[in-house]
Structure 1
Amino acid sequence: MSPNPPPTSLIPRAKLAVGALIATLFGQLLTGTAAAAPENTSRLAWQPCESPSSQGTFECATVKVPVDWKRPHGDTIDLALARHLATDPDKRIGSLLVNPGGPGGSGVSFALAAPDVFSPELLARFDIVGFDPRGVARSNPLKCDEDLINAQGELLFPDSAASFTALRAANRALGASCRELTGPLADHMDTGSVVRDMDAIRAGLGEQRISYYGVSYGTAIGQQYAERYPHRIRAMTLDSNMDHSLGNRDFQRTETDAVESSYGQFADWCARTTSCALHDRDARALFDSLHKRAEAGDIVLPGDPPQPVTPQDLQGLALSHMYEPASWFDFAQLLSDIDAADPAAAGAVRKYGEPTPYPFLSVMCQDYDLNVPSYSSLARIERELARRAPVTRFSTLGWTVQTGCQDWPAEVTNPQRRLHVDGTPPILMTNSRFDPATPYSWGSNAARQIGREAVLLTYDGVGHGDYWLSPCTRDAIDTYLTTLKTPRKGTHCPAVWPTDPSAQRRSPNGELINPLPDLVGTGTYR
C-alpha cells in the first residue's frame, strides 16, 4: 500500500556554471548514462557477499539512518543493502534501486535473486541495489507478540458489535506489543520515513540521480520519492501501482472490484480451457455455492482434527491465486477437491500464515486512516461490497487492512492525500487490467495525479507484477530503464494466458522466475 509525510518541498536544480558541463550531463541523460557522481562515494563500506544460489557477483553494506527523521541526531538504525554488480562494467549506467513491495518484502533478497529475476539487459547495465526497508528482515526487524498476532487473526472478520469491540482491543494489544518488543521504531514505520531512507542510500551510493524499479507497495515508495526528490531521479518504473489518495470506502470498493473481476477472468479461462479441472462446470456458480456452504458450516475437510472451511478461507484462496495465473490449474483442482471434501485439499487451506516478524500493519496503519466508527458502519460496508461482488463478496486483503487498523495505537503520520509530482523525468507506470491486489483503477488514478510526467502502460491480462507476467511489458521496462525511451501513452500489452501447469512461477518465455511469492507472500500488496 502507500503512505505520507508533510507536504514535500521541491529541491531546485543545481545551477552549473560551466556550459560544457551542462552539455555533458544532458548528453549522458539522453544516452542513458549516469550523471557524474558526487564526491562522497566512500560513505557505504561494501563487502563481498554471496547469494543463496551462488550466482553473480554481490556486495553487501549497511547505511545508518535516524529512527525519527524529525530528530536526525537521535536514535539510529542500520539498513541492510545488497547489490549485484553490473555484468558489463564498460556499459554500466549506474545503480538501479529495487523494492519488491509488501509492506515487508526484502529488497536485499530481491537483489540477491537478481540473476534469476531480471533480464540480462538490466543485469549488464546496472548495479541492482536492494535494501530492506526499516523494520523489515535485516533492517532492525519489527517484532510483535506471536500469541497476539494469532489472537488478532481470529477476530479480523467481526460479525457483531461484541466481536468488533474485541477486535479493537486485540489490535491495541498487538500494536503495543510491537512497540514494546521493537522500541521507538514501531512508531516510525510510515512510507515517508522510508522515502527519506532511500535518499540517504542514494547519497551513500554517491549518485546525484538514481534509477528505480518498485513493484506493488514499492510503487508507494517511488511515488512519494518522486514527490519529495523530483530532481534526484534519472528513471523510475512503478509496476502494479498503489493509490494513496483513497478514503476507506473507495479503498474497499476498488479492492473488491479487482478480486471479483480477476476471478471472473479465471472462470472464463476455465470455461475455454479443456485441461482446467472445472472446464465442464460454472466456476462462478461453484464459488458461490461453496461460499454459502461455508457460511452454513457445511464444508469440513477430513483430518485429525477435521478442518472446517470458512468463507474467509475461500476468499483468501481466490485472492492468492489471482496474483499469478500460472497457479490457476492448481486452483481449479483445489476448488473441486474442497467441493468434494477431498482430504487432498486440507493441506492447501491454512487459517493463517506462520507467525513471523510483523511489519505489515505497522506500515499500513501509519499510512492509512481507515477508521470505522462502529460495527453497524462496518456491516453496511460489508453489505455494499457483497452487492458489488456477488461471487467473491470482498477482498480479504483490503478488508483485513481495514479491520486490522481499527484502534491501532500508532499515529497515522502519513495519511491519504493526492500526489503532487513536478519536475521529474518521465515515469513509466504499468498495471494489469485485472490485478487483484493493486487494481487497475489505482494505477490509472495515480498516473492522473502525477500528470504529464506519467506514462501508463496497460497489461491486458490478470495478475500482479507485470514484469514477470508479460514479455511485452518487460521489454518496455527494460528499454525505458536503459535508454529512457518510454512507450507511447495509451500503449497496451496483450494478455498472456496459462497453458501449462509446469510453467508456474516462470515468466511466459520461461527465462525468469517471479520472485514475489517468496519475497513477500500473498495477503500483502507484494
Structure 2
Amino acid sequence: MRLTVLAAAAALMITGTPAVQASGDVAVPRINWASCGPENPGFECASVKVPLDYDEPRGATTTIALARKPATDKAGRIGSLFLNPGGPGGSGVNFALGAGNTLSANLKGRFDIVGFDPRGIGKSDPLHCFASEAELDEFFEGVPGFPYQAAQERPFYDRYRSLGPECRDDQRIARHMSTADVARDLDLLRRAVGDRKLNYLGFSYGSFLGATYANLFPNNIRALVVDGVLNPELWSSGRQVESDRIATKEEFREFLRTCDEARCVFGPKSEQRWDALLKSVRAKPIQLGDQLYTYDAVIGAAIGAMYSPSDWPDAAALFDQLSDAAGSLSVAAEADYSNGFDAYNGNVCADIEFPRAFESYQATSRYAARGSEFGPFWWWSNAACANWPVNEDRFTGPWRTRTNAPVLVVGNHFDGVTDFRGAQAVNRQIAGSRLLAYAGWGHTAYGISQCATDHTNAYLLEGKLPAVGTVCPANPNPFLPSVTAAAEPLFKPARR
C-alpha cells in the first residue's frame, strides 16, 4: 500500500519501520441495525460499505456484513466487543449468532457482542472460485486430502495450483483480501459503532488478525485477547509448517497417553496400535461400513480430533474399529454455497508468498514429514497459492510493537493446531502483553478451561490481567466417563 507521509511517520515511531497505520481519512460508514429475523431473536444485523482499496478511499467499495447481540446492561455498557472465530474463512456473523448469548452472559451484558464476516467471506462480498457447490465437489474428486504417495504429489499440486486463475481473474475482491485490509476494516467498524478504543476477542487465525491490528493500530486498543495463537512471524512468511509438524504430534501423543491412562477402547498400547493402523491403511484402504478410509482420511480424522478433547472418545472408538477392520475386510471399489474453502485460500494467498515450483513443495513436504506424520497434511494445501500473487497491501512485519493497553495472550500447553510456542512468541513480540497458559489439551482455552475463561472475562470487563506466570490447571482426563459430557466447549472456533 502506498503510504501517506503522516501515516508512515507515525508507524515508524511505534515499530521502527514504515507500515500503514490508519484509515483516518476514510469516511465512517453509518450502520443501520435491523432485526436478524425471527430465527435469531434478540440479534441485530446490518451491512456497510468500506473501501475496496484503502489506497483509494473514495473509490470502489466492498460490503461487510455484521451481527450483534446488544448489551443488556445499558447503564453499565462498556462498548462493542468484536469477534473473529478463525479460519481464515470463518464467519464472524454466524459466530456471533451462535455464541453471542453465552458471551453476553459471561460478560454481564456490558458489551454489544459484534461479529463481522471479513471481506470476501460469508455474506461480505464473498469470493467464489466455483460456479456451484457441485463444481466445488468436483474439484476434490480424484485427489487425496493430501498426497501421501509420491505418485499423488504432482496431480495434487497441479489441481491446487489451478485455483489461482480460477479464483482471482474476474473478481475484484480476490485482489483485496489481505489480513491488513481486514484490520483496516476492523478499525473503521470500531469508529462506526462509536468506540474510542477497540475491544476484541480473536481465536486461532483471529490471533493473526489481532496481532496485525496491534501493529497497525497500537494506540487504538482498550482490550485485545488472542486465544489459540499463531506466531505471525512464521505465518506471514510461509514458515508455519515449522510449528505444525511438531504441534499436532505433541498433542496426539497426549491423546494416546490419556487413552491408555483411562483404559479407553483404543488401548492398551495405543501408540503401537496407531503405528500399526497407519502402516496398514497406507498399504491398503480400509472399508468400514459404507465408508472407505484411506491414509489421508485417517490422518485428517486424527487432526480433526485435536481441536477439541471432547471429541477424543469418539476418535478413539473410530481408530479401534479401523484397527479391527484392517485385518479382516477388503476394499470396495451457481455460485451460492458456503465459501469457506475459497475464502481460506483468498486470504492466505493474499498474505503469504509461497513457492511457485513443484520441487519446493516436495522438499518442504519431506521436511514436514520428518517432524511427524501430520506435517504433510498441513503443508500441501498451500499449493493453492503457487499461481496466486500476494496482495500489495499485506503486512509482513516486523511484528514487534508496544500497545497503549496490554494485550492478553492465551495459549494451551498441548494445542495441536496453534501450539503454545506461538503464544510465547506473541507475548515476546507485543511489549507489555501478558501470557495466560492453560496446561491442558485442545485448540483455544476460552469456554473450555473455567480458569482461563474467568481470567479472560475479568480482563475484558475490568482490564485486570492474570498474575505473571499464571498457568490454569488441565481439565481431567478427557477419556474419563464422568468428564466426557462436561468437556464439550461452549463454542468451537473455525478451523484454520
TM-score, structure 1 as length reference: 0.80
The residue that corresponds to 1:364 in the other structure is 348
Alignment of 1:480-495 (within 5 A): 480-495=459-474
Q: Are 1:95 and 1:127, in contact at CA under 8 Å, matched by a contact in 2?
A: yes
Verify: 1:189 aligned to 2:177, yes or no.
Answer: yes
Q: 1:65 to 1:251 in 2, by over 3 A?
A: same
Q: 1:302 to 1:95 in 2, by over 3 A?
A: closer
Verify: 1:226 aligned to 2:214, yes or no.
Answer: yes
Q: Are 2:435 and 2:469, in contact at CA under 8 Å, matched by a contact in 1?
A: yes
Q: 1:254 to 1:472 in 2, by over 3 A?
A: same
Q: Are 1:117 and 1:515, in contact at CA under 8 Å, matched by a contact in 2?
A: no
What's the offset of the Cα at 1:129? 0.9
Counterpart amino acid of 2:165? A
The residue that corresponds to 1:144 in the other structure is 129
Q: 1:298 to 1:44 in 2, by over 3 A?
A: closer
Query: 5+ unaligned residues in a row in structure 2: which ranges?
Result: 14-26, 330-335
Cα separation, 1, equivalents of 2:205 and 2:98: 19
Cα separation, 2, equivalents of 1:370 and 1:51: 45
Alignment of 1:278-289 (within 5 A): 278-279=266-267, 281-289=268-276
What's the offset of the Cα at 1:474? 0.2
Verify: 1:425 aligned to 2:408, yes or no.
Answer: no
Q: Are 1:259 and 1:437, in contact at CA under 8 Å, matched by a contact in 2?
A: yes
Verify: 1:254 aligned to 2:239, yes or no.
Answer: no
What's the offset of the Cα at 1:258? 0.8
Counterpart amino acid of 1:256? R
**Structure 2 SS opposite 1:466:** coil
**Structure 2 SS opposite 1:195:** helix
Percent identity, aligned pairs only, is 33
Q: Are 1:156 and 1:403, in contact at CA under 8 Å, matched by a contact in 2?
A: no
Instruction: String of CA shifts for 1:21-76, please: whole Å, max 9, x gaps.
Output: xxxxxxxxxxxxxxxxxxx998211223347453xx22222221122222222221
Verify: 1:61 aligned to 2:18, yes or no.
Answer: no
The residue that corresponds to 1:31 in the other structure is none
Instruction: Say which of 372, 384, 387 aligns to 2:370.
Output: 387
Q: Are 1:41 and 1:206, in contact at CA under 8 Å, matched by a contact in 2?
A: no
What's the offset of the Cα at 1:438? 0.8
What's the offset of the Cα at 1:393? 4.2
The residue that corresponds to 2:69 in the other structure is 84
Cα separation, 2, equivalents of 1:149 and 1:312: 17
Q: 1:501 to 1:399 in 2, by over 3 A?
A: farther
Counterpart amino acid of 2:88? P
Q: Are 1:86 and 1:126, in contact at CA under 8 Å, matched by a contact in 2?
A: yes
The residue that corresponds to 2:84 in the other structure is 99
Over the aligned positions, Cα root-mean-square deviation in angstroms equals 3.2
**Structure 2 SS opposite 1:246:** helix
Cα separation, 2, equivalents of 1:72 and 1:408: 25
Q: 1:5 to 1:420 in 2, by over 3 A?
A: farther
Instruction: Say which of 224, 231, 240 aligns to 2:228.
Output: 240
Q: 1:158 to 1:300 in 2, by over 3 A?
A: same
Cα separation, 2, equivalents of 1:141 and 1:444: 34
The residue that corresponds to 1:268 in the other structure is 257
What's the offset of the Cα at 1:116? 4.7
TM-score, structure 2 as length reference: 0.85
Verify: 1:109 aligned to 2:94, yes or no.
Answer: yes
Instruction: String of CA shifts for 1:387-435, please: whole Å, max 9, x gaps.
Output: 332xx34262x22343332233555753644413223211000011111
Q: Are 1:319 and 1:395, in contact at CA under 8 Å, matched by a contact in 2?
A: no
Counterpart amino acid of 2:418? T
**Structure 2 SS opposite 1:128:** strand
Q: How many residues align?
A: 466
Query: 5+ unaligned residues in a row in structure 1: which ranges?
Result: 14-39, 346-353
Cα separation, 1, equivalents of 2:429 and 2:225: 16
Instruction: Say which of 279, 282, 285 aligns to 1:292.
Output: 279
Cα separation, 1, equivalents of 2:157 and 2:374: 23
Counterpart amino acid of 2:227? D
